[in-house]
Every structure is written in structure tokens, then in C-alpha cells.
Amino acid sequence: MDFEACRRAFLTRDPRFDGRIFGAVKTTGIYCRPVCPARTPKPENMTFYPTAAACQEAGFRPCLRCRPESSPDLGAWRGTSNTVSRALALIEAGAMDTGDVDALASRLGVGERQLRRLFRQHLGASPVAVAQTRRVLLAKQLIQETLLPMGEVALASGFGSVRRFNETFQQLFGRPPGALRRSRAEEASAAAGGITVKLPYRAPYDWAAMIGFLEARAIPGVESVTPRRYARTLAVDGALGVVTVSPGAGDFLVAEIRFPKVQALPAVIARIRRVFDLTADPALIGAHLSQDPALVPLVAARPGLRAPGAWDGFELAVRAILGQQITVTAARGLVARLVEAYGARLDDPFAASLGLTRAFPAPADIVGQDIAALGMPKARGAALEALARTVAADPAIFTPRGDLESAIAALKALPGVGEWTAQYIALRELREPDAFPQADIGLLRGMADETGQRPTPAELLARAEAWRPWRAYAAQHLWAADADQIATPKRSKTDAQQQRAA
């Protein structure tokens, strides 16, 4: 890291570097964000690190003024290693809470030593340090933003025991965790009233595009969407709960989470961040895609466009299979029938007030069922039942793999999943930034020339080579442009019938 460049970022409090670098002060033992309001220390007393985990592994503790836990988390896009990006996604989902580094490396198809070396090279910290920092910063956020009892904070942030939680905070901050809470108001119960957390992102953020995408695919009873709020039921480890997400007053989203088990909180937050694509760096992605003249006006029109993620791999696969060759509206109708027939009913007054009554069916709920009786071709119903049987036997089928190619191959081995569906699942569930369903009719329409001539899938795939490693975001811009064209009265009947849905 260039010392003078980092130093200038702190002197000018440049928000562009927030989340990219952290400054540690040798004399105080504290590390800060570039936007910290405190007076910038003398140069000889400062050192810089690429991640919060690297700062904490070096023995520094988080600043209580600028709160590093509230900075945009760009870890998934830092560096050039796809393996590190996938490992970070697994750690955020809790892989290190129940396993070790060796198990994490095995899931990614690399050796333990290789994974440690990549983490040192790109993040300046070990996988264990990254996981520990994730727990500490989440706990600190919950302490300062909620009224959860300390025991529930410990469980909700991924600590195995309250004793370990207290020891870590005492060692890191030199005080018990309760001393970090600014308000001494009566503590609340997470299970009874839920908690509200702020989830930061790198601006700009196209909320209108995101909420429009989710609204078009919302399942009645499972999801409820208004222009300023998204709400849905969610199942984590057998427990049913409700999440609502809305735009905040700054560069953050506000999530209200109501779950009976506080231990599910890290997984729920990870899912929200994944669905709303909060780790993306739109400036970096947009600058790269804008090297292609055809994408320049699309990126300029939507500088904050994100790639919506998925809440659950099985749910997305079912949606994608049902949406093959039919419209979004028709696919949503089929999914609604499936949910009404096999989804667990949620008996919660708060959920009912939002119009939420059911959870999406688990794979085991569909195994052995005659799904075609809901009003779809027998072959498609059989494919869904076979998919449910496969996922029930291997719940980890939708976790990130060592590379995009191996992920696509594994997904195509699933019943009813072809190349397009596999690429779509990789894009939304596995969060592969380079996934690209090149045969999608919307993408082909989006790349039509001024005469209306569309490229072939092979021609589009060749053109997209220049968009790597952000082809998923190029696809999102093309889909958005295609949607604008479809919304005009000039669209053809044939195109309307060919519109894909998922």
C-alpha cells in the first residue's frame, strides 16, 4: 500500500476510500476509517492496512468514533483472487462458525496452505482473523445500535459462548462489552420485538431498480413489496421469521429482523447483504464496463445498478425452472400455487399485518408430491420433484465452488437445469460476478444494433469477453435496457411471448 496516497486519503477524509483502507495509530492502538472526524495523527505514528481484519490481527482495536463496523464492506471485491471472494462469501454465511480453515479450503477445491497464502496476499489477514473480526464488528454494531441483552448479542454475532465473547471484548477494548453501550435503557428481547440494523453500501445505489426487480417476482404470501419497503418470510435452520428492508437516510439500508433464534442473525444479515448486493463497488464495475461503447449509455443511465441476489438456492432453482420459456407473471402464478400447496403456514400477527402468511417450501416438503397437478407440464413437475430430492440429499449443492466452470457443471447436473438456468443460479445465488446466460432473449434484444438486428448467443458470448470479470453486471444493464424497451408500446407480440422469467 502506498503510504502517501493513504495518508492523503485520511487528511482529506476522502469517502471514496472508505472500506478500502484503514489507518492504525501506533501510539493509541486504535484503527480508523478515512472519514474519521478525529484529528489525523502524525505520519510517523500511522500505518495502513487493507482490511479491518488485518488491523485487528496486528493488535489494534476499532475506533469508537468512526466505528469501522459501519463502513462499506468491499471485501468480496478486493484483490484479484476469485478464490478469496468465494471464501469471504462462505465466511459471511457462517462457514467458520461450524468448521475450520481446512474444511473451508476443501469446499473451495484448494489446499489449506494455499488459502492462507491468498488471504495474506489479498487481505493481509488469515481466514481465522477475518472470521473473528466479522464476529467482533457485528457484536459491536449490535451493542451500539440495539438494546439486545449481552448474552443474546454474543449468540447473535456468532460467538460460541458468552464467556468467549466477554474475554474477546476485554482483551480487544480493555473493558467489558456492556461498557460500549451508550444508552443504559432497559434491554429488549430479540425474539419478542426484533432488531433493527443499518447495512452500509458504496454509493450510488439504485433502490428503484432493485425494488422493481423484486416486486415483479414477489410471491403472494411470502413477499410483500411497496416502493419504500421489501418484506418477506424466511426460514433458517428450521426456524421461521420475517425480515423487512427499506432505504435509510444515508448510504445504508435499514433491516428489521424478527427471528425466534438470535443465533440465526448472522445468516439472515448475510442473506440480506447478498440479495441487495451491498458489497458491490459500482464505480469500479461501471468504469470497467464503460470501456465498451455499447454499454456507456447504459451505465451512465443507472450508475448504482446492482445484481439482485437470491434468498435461497433451492427457491431460486424452482423459480428458474418454472420460469423457463414463460412470462414473469405466469411464472409467479405457478410459484404461488406451489407455496399455497406445500409452504409452511406462519402464525405471526406482525407478519400477517404485512400480508405474509407462508414460507417457501423446503425440499423435503416437495419430495414425493405430484407437482404437475398444480397446473404445469408433467415433465416440469417431475423435474421439480427430482430437484427437491437431490437438494434434500445434499443441502450444500448451492454453495460457492472453486471456480465458475465447476459451479456451472455441478448445477447442470441437477434435474431440469440447463446452461441458461445454471448461469442464472450462479449469478443470483452463488454471487458469481462473471456468470452470464448468453442465450437469454433479453440480453440478445439488449445488444441489438440500430437496425434491430440481434447477435447470436455465440456472438454475444464473444463480445462479452471484454466485460470479464463483471459480465453479471453487464447482463443486469442489458436486462434493464430491455425492460425499458418492452415497456414501450412498440414492442412486438413475438418478443412479449419470448420474455424469460425467473
Q: What is the pTM of this model?
A: 0.85
Task: Please provide the size of the chain in residues.
Answer: 502
Q: How far apart are CA 72 and CA 481, in angstroms?
A: 28
Task: Give the pLDDT confidence score for residue 80 in this predicted structure.
Answer: 55
Mean pLDDT over 160-188 rounds to: 77
Are the CB atoms for 132 and 155 separated by under 8 Å?
A: no
Per-residue burial over 406-430, b if 16 or more Cβ lie within 10 Å, else e, is ebbebbeebbbbeebbbbbbbbbbb
Which is more confidently placed, 214 or 74? 214
Question: Is residue 384's pLDDT more than 90?
Answer: yes
- 347-371 tens-digit pLDDT: 888 999 999 999 999 999 999 998 9
Nearest alpha carbon to residue 327 among 483, 485, 489 = 483
Are the CB atoms for 289 and 258 separated by under 8 Å?
A: no
Mean pLDDT over 122-126 rounds to: 86
Amino acid residing at 501: A
- 20-53 tens-digit pLDDT: 899 999 999 999 999 999 999 999 999 999 888 8
| 3-class SS letters over 144-191 | HHCCCCHHHHHHHCCCCCHHHHHHHHHHHHCCCHHHHCCCCCCCCCHH
Pairing of strands 195-200, 239-247: unpaired
Per-residue burial over 312-345, b if 16 or more Cβ lie within 10 Å, else e, is bbbbbbbbbbbbbebeeeebbbbbbebbbebbee
Are the CB atoms for 25 and 45 separated by under 8 Å?
A: yes
Q: In the structure, what pLDDT confidence band is assigned to residue 295 with cuts at 50, 70 and 90?
A: very high
Pairing of strands 61-62, 30-32: parallel
Question: Is residue 497's pLDDT more than 60?
Answer: no
Question: Is residue 186's pLDDT more than 70?
Answer: no
Alpha helices in 345-456 (DSSP H): 349-353, 363-366, 378-393, 404-412, 419-428, 441-446
Q: In the structure, what pLDDT confidence band is assigned to residue 133 with cuts at 50, 70 and 90?
A: confident
Instruction: Tell me which DSSP letter residue 99 carries.
Output: S
Pairing of strands 22-25, 46-49: antiparallel
Question: Is residue 226's pLDDT more than 70?
Answer: yes
Is 440 a known active-site residue?
A: yes
Task: Give the pLDDT confidence score for residue 213 in this predicted structure.
Answer: 92
Q: Which of 32, 36, 63, 66 is catalytic?
A: 32
Question: Strand locations in 228-324, DSSP E?
Answer: 229-236, 239-247, 252-258
Question: Is residue 210's pLDDT more than 60?
Answer: yes
Task: Give the pLDDT confidence score for residue 489 in this predicted structure.
Answer: 45
Q: How far apart are CA 500 and CA 421, in angstroms?
A: 11
Q: Which of 18, 73, 312, 440 is catalytic?
A: 440
Question: Is residue 379's pLDDT more than 80?
Answer: yes
C-alpha of 293 from chain center: 29
- 53-92 tens-digit pLDDT: 899 889 999 998 888 887 776 544 445 567 888 888 888 8
